[in-house]
Amino acid sequence: MTVEASRPEIEVRGLHKSFGTNEVLKGIDLEIGQGEVVCVIGPSGSGKSTLLRCVNLLEEPTKGQVFVGGTELTDPDVDIDAVRRRIGMVFQQFNLFPHLTVTENLTLPQRRVLRRGKAQAAKVAAENLERVGLAEKADAYPASLSGGQQQRVAIARSLSMGPEVMLFDEPTSALDPELVGDVLAVMRMLAREGMTMMVVTHEMTFAREVADRVVFMDGGVIVEDGTPARVIGAPSHERTRHFLSRLLDPAMADVEENGGGDDS
């Protein structure tokens, strides 16, 4: 896919993030163009989720800048709620609102945040439920849905706000294996439609087939950044090779002295 827009949709400059004395991100520079799909991979504790959460400022960066659509989120005076409306976020644990029905999950944010009228909110909600293939669950409560269905509702909820960018934080990691496919199919559809997407994931097949770029992170830095064919197909760093071999064939891994990743 070619990137036509001159300015990147997401731009991260010199990003550092520490939790207490634990430095999780050690200087990240990353640009994601309009319509680009970037998968971020890496061992647990590598800082990939923290990086994603810094992009919509759910985590406050210690140092550095984050721009989305040309607006600097790290500016202390920015209207963060206004910027976040343009950034959809999908969580590992879905985080649907359990006290609301599926439709209400989609309409309440539109009405409260975007001040849309009742009829318009309902219309947008119905359209997006249709897109993720869950129109028949409109009146169900989240607890009665499978994990895969809940995640698709969560995606539809984000889409109802009309975001320019979608962030996915391990969207399939909490799902039973047979439910992963439905969620990935929705994400593939979004990618085809030209949505700018940043996806933290362990789904290598998805990364290989859908992503324009794959970013491999380890120890709080970006180790490798390139096309899926390069990063997954022919990694140039030993750390990437090591991670991929453990991921693709976990049964063949040896017992390691320090337990692999840098979870502290």
Binding site for other proteins (CB under 8 A): 56, 58, 81-82, 84-85, 87-89, 91, 93, 95-99, 108-109, 112-114, 143, 154, 157-158, 161
Quick one: the chain helix, strand, coil %, rounded to 5?
40, 25, 40
Paired tokens of 243: 């991670």
The torsion defined by the Cα of 139, 103, 56 and 33, in degrees rounded to 10, comes to 110
Count Cβ atoms within 10 A of the Cβ of residue 76 and give its class: 0-12 exposed, 13-18 middle, 19 or more buried: exposed
Q: How far is the CB of 139 from other proteins (least distance, A)?
A: 18
Q: Which is nearer to other proteins, 48 or 157 (CB)?
A: 157
9/55 Cα distance (integer angstroms): 11
Q: How far is the CB of 114 from other proteins (least distance, A)?
A: 8
Q: Which is nearer to other proteins, 161 or 191 (CB)?
A: 161
42/261 Cα distance (integer angstroms): 9
CA angle 113, 15, 194 (to 5 degrees): 55
105/129 Cα distance (integer angstroms): 11
Q: Which is nearer to other proteins, 19 or 97 (CB)?
A: 97
Q: Which is nearer to other proteins, 90 or 217 (CB)?
A: 90
Q: How far is the CB of 91 from other proteins (least distance, A)?
A: 6
Q: How far is the CB of 84 from other proteins (least distance, A)?
A: 5
Q: How far is the CB of 104 from other proteins (least distance, A)?
A: 11
149/99 Cα distance (integer angstroms): 17
Paired tokens of 124: 């947008």
3-state secondary structure of 189: helix
Q: How far is the CB of 186 from other proteins (least distance, A)?
A: 18
Q: Which is nearer to other proteins, 173 or 236 (CB)?
A: 173
Q: Which is nearer to other proteins, 82 or 185 (CB)?
A: 82
